[in-house]
Amino acid sequence: MGRSSDYSDKNGLKKGPWTAEEDQKLIDYIQKYGHGRWRTLPKNAGLKRCGKSCRLRWTNYLRPDIKRGKFSLEEEDTIIQLHRVLGNKWSSIASRLPGRTDNEIKNYWNTHIKKKLQRMGIDPVTHSPRLDLLELSSILSSSSLCNSTEQFNTSNLFGLGLMNPDLLNLASTLLSCQSTTTPQNLHQQDQSFQQNLLQYTVDDPNPQYLNETQIQQPNLEQFSSNPNNFSCQNAEPFGVSRPILAPNYGCQETENESRIEPSVYQNQAYFNNRMNGGSCIANMGFGSLLTTPSSSSTPLNSSSTNYVNGCPEDERDSYCSNLFFDSLNAIGFV
DNA sequence: AACACCTCCAACCGCAGTAAT
DNA sequence: GATTACTGCGGTTGGAGGTGT
């Protein structure tokens, strides 16, 4: 692993992966003399490396306080929360995660968290819902399309400005399901969903990064005393607020459960409800399609019955839910 | 088995900020 | 104030290993 295939530069200094022998030399030297003076360190330690390479190797790999291994769910949550506030300030984020280096966090963000958020329909840069989903929600909640008595076809959707073929297909699929189920409930819930989306985008289209003082002094008034009873008036996505570094109020991971999505977004990513049992449902749209019990902590792949507004979920809705979810999956939303 | 493609992550690069001279 | 050295940071690279065909 590493970089250049030519493991030496023009000054005869070695580059590329470190050997165990080099590591030991560096450790021995630093244990004896301490670190610092990185330019002269390699020469004194008998290493054919530049000082910068030695410093990087020490700070990112050899330092004794480094915690190696998989990131915990809590760490992942913290990274997401901090990234939302700090942006790509990896060193600042790392300073709040003992034992983790900025490089490690940066890699983990780019290889895991970023993709996960994208699958959830969240822009990993702004931490807000993707605009194309907003577009879809807006169109689906328009009164003409939610009226089950009205025949629709793809030309209706084109007429409403839905030009993206993927979204067009998705909307078409979804609406064909809706036309065979109870429309009133769907309509109300989709409107609610749209309102939540708009609320969020109006309140906080581009989250402002806070300074460190603000991070360490969260506004505890922002969230309800009941952690599952979120209000819809703050700048957090979908109107849900959690203070930075607050306890994990979301779904808890159990030992026998597969890894779940970050609790930071459980409340906003309605897709998650399908994945983790939705223990913190807010007023989500497409409710009858995707909602699971608000008090449930049902794990993945549960065979328990889903309830919507206190009633068992209609099998057709369940079918539509699958269809909708699969459609999202097919076009890369999930 | 062989090849192509993908994912992960250690290591590098270049720039910016700060301290020393 | 200008220059040099040092350090820290964020972005990027590319090889190893895994996975799919």
Protein-to-nucleotide distance from the CA of A62 to the C1' of C4, whole angstroms: 30
Which chain A residues 56-75 have CB under 7 A to strand C? Answer: 56, 59
Amino acid A276 CA to nucleotide C13 C1' distance, rounded Å: 37
> A291: which DSSP letter?
-
Which nucleotide minimizes the distance between its C1' and the CA of A50? B12
Q: Domains, chain A, ranges and CATH?
A: 20-62 (1.10.10.60), 73-119 (1.10.10.60), 131-334 (no CATH)
Q: How far is the CA of A90 from the C1' of C10 (A)?
A: 8
Q: Smallest Cα–Cα separation from A181: which of A322, A289, A66? A: A289
Arithmetic mean of pLDDT, A146-157 = 44
CA of A18 to C1' of C15 (A): 14
Nucleotides of C under 7 A from a protein CB: 5-16
Strand C and A114 CB separated by under 7 Å: no
pLDDT band at A198 (very low <50, low <70, confident <90, very high): very low
**What average pLDDT does the segment A129-139 reach?**
63
Bridge partners for A308 per DSSP? A311
pLDDT at A53 over 60: yes
Average pLDDT over residues A240-245: 33
Distance A325 CA to B5 C1' (A): 27
Of A296, A228, A292, A297, whose CA–CA distance to A257 is shortest? Answer: A297
Of A285, A246, A277, A245, the C-alpha closest to A261 is A277
**Mean pLDDT across the stretch A328-332?**
43
Confidence of residue A61 (pLDDT cuts 50, 70, 90): confident
- Answer yes or no: is A55 CB < 7 A from strand C: yes
Average pLDDT for A274-300:
30
Q: What is the mean pLDDT of residues A72-95?
A: 88
Query: Could you tell me the two tokens for A106?
Result: 């940066």
Question: Cβ(A136)–Cβ(A171) under 8 Å?
Answer: yes
Question: In chain A, how many H helices and how many E strands?
Answer: 16, 2
Nearest nucleotide, CA A9 to C1': B12
Q: What is the mean pLDDT of residues A23-41?
A: 85
The percentage of chain A sitting over the pLDDT mark of 90, rounded to a whole number, equals: 1
Cα distance between residue A255 and residue A219, in whole Å: 32
Kindly tell me if the per-residue pLDDT of A175 is higher than 80: no
Distance of CA A309 to the CA centre of its chain: 28
Answer whether A179's CB lies under 8 Å from A152's CB. Answer: yes
Q: Going by DSSP bridges, is the β-strand pair A311-312/A307-308 parallel, antiparallel, or unpaired?
A: antiparallel
Query: Is A219 near strand C, with its CB below 7 A from some atom of it?
Result: no
Query: What integer pLDDT is reported at residue A14 of this predicted model?
Result: 84
Per-residue pLDDT, averaged over A21-27, amounts to: 89
- Tell which residue, A293, A301, A295, has the closest CA to residue A258: A301
Task: Tell whether the torsion through CA atoms of A203, A206, A209 and A215 is positive or negative.
Answer: positive
Q: Which amino acid is at A301?
A: N
High-pLDDT (> 70) share of chain A, %: 35
Which residue's CA lies closest to nucleotide B7 at its C1' atom?
A: A111
- DSSP letter at A235? S
